[in-house]
Amino acid sequence: MGVIVPLFFHLIQILLLSISGAVLGSLDETLINQLLSSAQQDKDWLVSIRRQIHENPELKFEEHNTSALIRRELDKLGISYTYPVAKTGIVAHIGSGSRPVVALRADMDALPLQVELVEWEHKSKIDGKMHACGHDVHTTILLGAAKLLHQRKDMLKGTVRLLFQPAEEGGAGASYMVKEGGLGDSEAIFAVHVDDGIPTGSIASISGPMLAAVSMFQVKIEGQGGHAAAPHATVDPIVAASFTVLALQQLISRETDPIQSQVLSVTYLRGGTALNVVPSYVEFGGTLRSLTTEGLNQLQKRLKEVVKGQAAVHRCNAYVDMKEEEFPPIPAVTNDESLHLHVKRVGGLMLGPENVRLAEKVMAGDDFAFYQEMIPGVELSIGIRNEEKGSIHWPHSPHFFVDEDVLPIGAALEASLAEIYLNEHQRLVVQ
């Protein structure tokens, strides 16, 4: 009898938890459906906002008009915000003002592409600039989520911070947002990024490493120029540079664990112009990438050692510039496991489990990683692929085009991720 009674109560507890979980799941599904329905009603507004931003792209830390448009819309909605943060950034606040606090982030900047090669009414009006990475979509989605959450502000069991961030493309804008207090008391953060590899109406997420830590480098090898007919009277930087580039390739093939993902790419080499003259110097440069921040740090260290050593062997001097002012290094995007499971559950309820995929690891980078160094976070992919509409091209392509059906889906998804997170963690706070 002494064993049966505790067992009975344990079974009752399991049954109650199961019932409670089913009820909460049903409530979450109802909430998600309401948000998705509201977002679909806002589609014309979302499309209009996105097209305004797309037509007027602005580069890193120059997003003045984009920022002004966002502030106008927030003012119309009656949403309070802090401005400026990180020069052109905005942090909006919705909810009770108390904990728990969850953050949503969107990047605002465009790319320096010479011309948009998509012929449509709303193509870029600014020569040399284009929203070819979907940041106009990310910003619009976050504005849509802001509207949805504000409509339910009195029901939010905590606070949502919305980070409209500048300078993701090479400016490490996220690091400035962090330094200037953009996260506040946030304990978790989510972001979406458009993905041409999966169809509209689907998402992809993964726990652990997802995007690479990234840095750039530039090398100058100095020798002594002279006439090519008398190479013995020169110190040839071309030979030194050639051996150096080949030696650098061994850092991946002979020093990196094959299980680890790392990239060292030399993307240009230039030196001299005459056919009969050995130049006095050669320059080359490229990028380093690793799925771990520690791996990137090691690559940077060994690059400097190899360049200096190879130059010395060939009687040359070498100078290495990691270009940190122009292209600040960024850490690896590493998604939190529990938040990844949250994304899978909420995404499955909204889109169906069959439309929630496992994201692929990619050696591109994203400064969202700076937020993840401070608090747990997930950057997830949201599908835009639609062959009929021509939404099939990679980001950073002048042919990049977006299926705008993603806008209400993304807005509802972000709002759902935030509100359900608050509901779940408010219960933990109360307990």
User: Distance between CA 229 and CA 379 in Å, rounded?
Assistant: 58
User: Distance between CA 148 and CA 38 in Å, rounded?
Assistant: 7
> 135 among the known binding-site residues?
yes
Characterize the bridge pairing of strands 89-95 and 159-165. antiparallel
User: Distance between CA 365 and CA 393 in Å, rounded?
Assistant: 18
Q: Are 343 and 378 in contact (CB under 8 A)?
A: yes
User: Distance between CA 382 and CA 402 in Å, rounded?
Assistant: 11
> 193 among the known binding-site residues?
yes
> 131 among the known binding-site residues?
no
Q: Are 410 and 383 in contact (CB under 8 A)?
A: no
> 396 among the known binding-site residues?
yes
> 294 among the known binding-site residues?
no
Annotated binding-site positions: 133, 135, 169, 193, 396
Annotated binding-site positions for Mn(2+): 133, 135, 169, 193, 396
